[in-house]
């Protein structure tokens, strides 16, 4: 699948400040993916565009898998009511200020991530239930074998974001992650190919 963010006016972009001079519409992206036979992971960045998102996905009849994700349980419940057949991923945590992308010293981040990671298996059932989600989209720092098992016990695949290091791809694959979201998909494919080699 190809993962992309969708905001106001159904334009691709993580935020309104990241939309290029020549914006790409959701319809254009879905038409391209449908022609390639590739699935889509549509990450909603705005609440209130759920009907338009579902209509666009249905309009293009993608043959590959389709997942809609968001940090908003309200949006996901709306998606569930409109299109129960779609994969619906609740994204956790809500990184509203983009701090996960900052190069924080590990001495500062490791204890907090460790505590959250330990608590994740207990958080997953209510997180999925509250959002009517059938997929979990989790930041890599919070993923453990136990968290993946907790999601799988509820028949929810686990998507892990944003993974750009080969060693991390190996660990997540060994722990049973169902999908790995990366800025470097070729690296991920190469690492996974070596793990699956005879």
Q: What is the pLDDT of residues 176-194, one digit of tens each?
A: 999 999 999 999 999 999 9
Examine the domain organization and report whether 81 and 130 are in the same domain: no
Predicted confidence (pLDDT) per residue in 10-35, tens digit = 999 887 778 888 999 999 999 999 99
Q: Which domain holds residue 195?
A: 96-198
Examine the domain organization and report whether 59 and 142 are in the same domain: no
Question: Of 23, 47, 39, which is closest to residue 157 (Cα–Cα)?
Answer: 39
Predicted confidence (pLDDT) per residue in 118-144, tens digit = 999 999 999 999 999 999 999 999 999
Q: Model's pTM, two decimal places? A: 0.89
Contact yes or no for 42/4 (Cβ under 8 A) = yes
pLDDT, position 104: 43
Question: Of 82, 83, 92, 195, which is closest to residue 151 (Cα–Cα)?
Answer: 92
Q: How many structural domains compose the chain? A: 2
Angstrom distance (rounded) from CA 12 to CA 7: 6
Query: 22: buried, middle or exposed (CB in 10 Å: 19+, 13-18, 0-12)?
Result: exposed
Examine the domain organization and report whether 83 and 101 are in the same domain: no
């Amino acid at each position: 699948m190809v993962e992309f963010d969708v905001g106001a006016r159904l334009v691709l972009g993580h935020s309104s400040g990241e939309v290029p001079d020549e914006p790409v519409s959701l319809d254009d992206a879905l038409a391209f993916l449908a022609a390639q036979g590739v699935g889509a992971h549509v990450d909603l960045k705005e609440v209130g565009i759920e009907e338009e998102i579902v209509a666009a996905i249905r309009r293009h009849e993608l043959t590959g898998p389709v997942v809609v994700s968001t940090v908003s349980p309200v949006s996901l419940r709306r998606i569930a009511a409109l299109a129960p057949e779609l994969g619906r991923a609740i994204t956790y945590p809500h990184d509203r200020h983009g701090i996960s992308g900052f190069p924080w010293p590990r001495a500062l981040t490791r204890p907090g991530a460790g505590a959250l990671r330990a608590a994740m298996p207990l958080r997953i059932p209510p997180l999925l239930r509250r959002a009517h989600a059938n997929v979990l989209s989790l930041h890599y720092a919070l993923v453990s074998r136990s968290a993946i098992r907790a999601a799988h016990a509820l028949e929810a695949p686990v998507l892990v974001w944003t993974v750009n290091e080969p060693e991390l791809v190996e660990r997540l694959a060994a722990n049973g992650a169902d999908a790995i979201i990366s800025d470097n998909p070729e690296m991920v494919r190469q690492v996974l190919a070596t793990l699956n080699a005879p």
